[in-house]
Chain A
Amino acid sequence: MPQFNLGLKPAQIEITLIPGKSYTQAFEVTNNSNDSVVLTTSVSAWQPLDNLGHIRHQTIDQLPFNFSLVNSDLRLGQEFILAPHQSRQLVLKIDNPEIRNIDHYFSFFLSQQPSLLQNGQNLAKIGANILISTSTESVLAPLKIDFINLSPRLKDTFLGLNITGQISNPSTRFTHLQGKITLKKNNEIFWERDIYPYTALSQNSRQIFCVTEDKHPEDCHVPAPLWPGKYQLEIRQDPSTPHPDYTSTFFVFPYLLSFLILLVFLFLYLIIKNYQTRSSKA
Chain B
Amino acid sequence: MTLRIFLALSLLSTLFPPTVLAQRFSSPSYLINWGNFNLTSGSKTSPNYRLTDTVGQNAPGYSEGDSLAVKAGFQYIYDTFDYLNFTIDKLLIDFGTLEPGLEVTDTNLLTVTTPSGRGYQITAHEDHTLWQNSNVFIPDTTCDNNNCDANHAAIWTQNNKYGFGFNAQGDGSLSYFPAPNLFRPFANLDYNQEPAVIASESNPVRNHQTLITYKVIVSPDQSAGHYQTYITYTLTPNY
| Chain A positions near chain B (C-beta within 8 angstroms) | 1-12, 24-26, 28, 30, 32-33, 46, 48, 52-57, 89, 105, 107, 109, 111, 114-115, 118-129, 131, 196, 198-199, 201, 207, 209, 215-218
Contact = CB atoms under 8 A, between A and B. Distances in A.
B77 A218 contact: no
Contacts of A198: 117
Nearest to B235: A126
A89 to B, nearest CB: 5
Interface string B63-84: 0000000000010110111111
B85 A7 contact: yes
A105 B237 CA distance: 13
B39 interface: no
Contact of B116 (A30, A53, A216): A216
Interface string B199-228: 010111000000000000000000000111
B88 interface: yes
Main secondary structure of the interface of A (DSSP, over half): strand
Nearest to B74: A26
Q: Which of A9, A11, A46 has the most CB of B within 10 A?
A: A11
Give the interface size bracket for B toward A: 35 or more
A107 B89 CA distance: 24
B174 interface: no
17 contacts: A1-B89, A1-B90, A4-B86, A6-B85, A6-B87, A9-B84, A11-B81, A11-B84, A26-B74, A28-B77, A122-B92, A122-B231, A122-B232, A123-B231, A127-B236, A127-B237, A131-B239
Given A122-B108, A127-B236, A89 B62 contact: yes
Q: Which of B91, B92, B227 has the most CB of A within 10 A?
A: B91
Contacts of B77: 26, 28, 89
Given A26-B76, A131-B239, A4 B229 contact: no
B85 to A, nearest CB: 4
A138 B124 CA distance: 40
A54 B231 contact: no
Contact of A54 (B86, B108, B200, B230): B200
Contact of B230 (A7, A114, A126, A128): A114
Given A55-B238, A124-B233, A11 B118 contact: yes
A25 B76 contact: yes
A195 to B, nearest CB: 13
Contact of A119 (B79, B89, B228, B233): B228
B93 A122 contact: yes
A25 B115 CA distance: 18
A52 B84 contact: no
A129 B239 CA distance: 7
B163 interface: no
Nearest to B114: A11
A125 B123 CA distance: 10
A108 to B, nearest CB: 10
Nearest to B192: A59
Nearest to A174: B239
A22 to B, nearest CB: 12
A175 to B, nearest CB: 12
Q: Which of B76, B116, B204, B238 has the most CB of A within 10 A?
A: B238
Contacts of B80: 10
B86 A5 contact: yes
A41 to B, nearest CB: 14
B195 interface: yes
Contacts of A53: 118-119, 202, 238-239
A233 B48 CA distance: 28
Given A2-B90, A32-B85, A11 B232 contact: no
Nearest to A109: B234
A11 B115 contact: yes
Contact of B204 (A57, A128, A216): A216
Nearest to B83: A7
B195 to A, nearest CB: 7
A128 B237 contact: yes
| 6 closest A-B pairs by CB | A120-B228, A53-B238, A7-B83, A10-B81, A125-B234, A11-B84
B54 interface: no
B105 interface: no
Given A11-B118, A12-B81, 20 more contacts: A2-B91, A11-B82, A26-B74, A26-B76, A33-B87, A54-B121, A54-B197, A55-B236, A57-B195, A105-B239, A114-B230, A120-B228, A121-B92, A122-B233, A124-B235, A126-B234, A196-B117, A215-B116, A215-B117, A217-B202
